[in-house]
Chain A
Amino acid sequence: MAEKNAYISASCVISNNTVYKNKQVVFENKGAVLPDFLTSVYQHFAWKYPKYYKMDNLSKLGWAAAEILLQGSDIEKYPPEDVGLILSNANASLDTDTRYFETTKDIASPALFVYTLPNITTGEICIRHKFKGENAFFVFEKFDPGFLHQYVNNLLNNDTLQACICGWVDVLQEDYKVLLVLVESNGNAGNTAERFTKENIENLYSLHNG
């Protein structure tokens, strides 16, 4: 299996009420509680996707980050089967699970129930961008760049995928953090692209801790 030169073509971080694209601040709304912040992100970027409002916070974070990550990319050049999505977090869908559990004391909410799995987030992103490649949502105690690098590199090296969005989408109440990177096999080796390495993923994750 030939080792390919995989590159990080783009990155998006959402942390501490700030959105970063390729390490640059593209939006911030300090002081807002998470639901209001997520609404302000939607309004700021003037998206037209009413389904967003129905998503839980985990899916909103993942969907918004993917939207910003892929803005200006030429991801559509790949066949849908060749674009994958590998996400991870620490709290699975616990944020929504607890909200849903509260509703079961009266009348259980179907709209909340459908978000009581973390991989619904991957589904929302795949539906939006019509991705049909390998996708998975892993739950770890903490961010594991080594696992992400190894897993995604394997998918690229064995030609399962040509491109992959991978990273971390985590939320529990007001505590949240998102890092998504777009990785392309034999990708853009231009001046702005970084090699897809464990260290570079870790650096992106640590860069905007706040």
Chain B
Amino acid sequence: MSDLKKQIIEQLNLQDIKPEDIGDDQPLFVDGLGLDSIDALELIVLLQQHYKIKLSNAEDGPKVFKSVRTIAEYITAHQNQVA
């Protein structure tokens, strides 16, 4: 999950934040890391660019992007499907 945190920091330009500052289960939006709707779109781009995964159902977004752990689980599940 450390690599994923680095990718999120780079993709979202979170220059004041280090990977270790982001908890595995810390909420990413609103009261957590404070990400916004544009960041959500950038996370979708990250999944496409780095993992060739397209978020098939937009309504899954809040569940998938809840925390770094939920994103990692989604990547693992869908990379296995691609493979």
Contacts and interface: CB of A to CB of B under 8 A. Distances in A.
Interface residues of B, number: 14
Contacts of B34: 50
Interface stretch (B13-21, B57-65, B66-74): B13-21
A198 interface: no
Contacts of B49: 106-107
B38 interface: yes
Contacts of A54: 12-13, 38
Contacts of B39: 111
Contact of B45 (A39, A50, A109, A114): A109
Contacts of A50: 14-17, 34
Interface of B: 12-17, 34, 38-39, 41-42, 45, 48-49
Interface of A: 39, 50, 53-54, 106-107, 109-111, 114
Given A50-B34, A54-B13, 4 more contacts: A54-B12, A109-B45, A111-B39, A114-B38
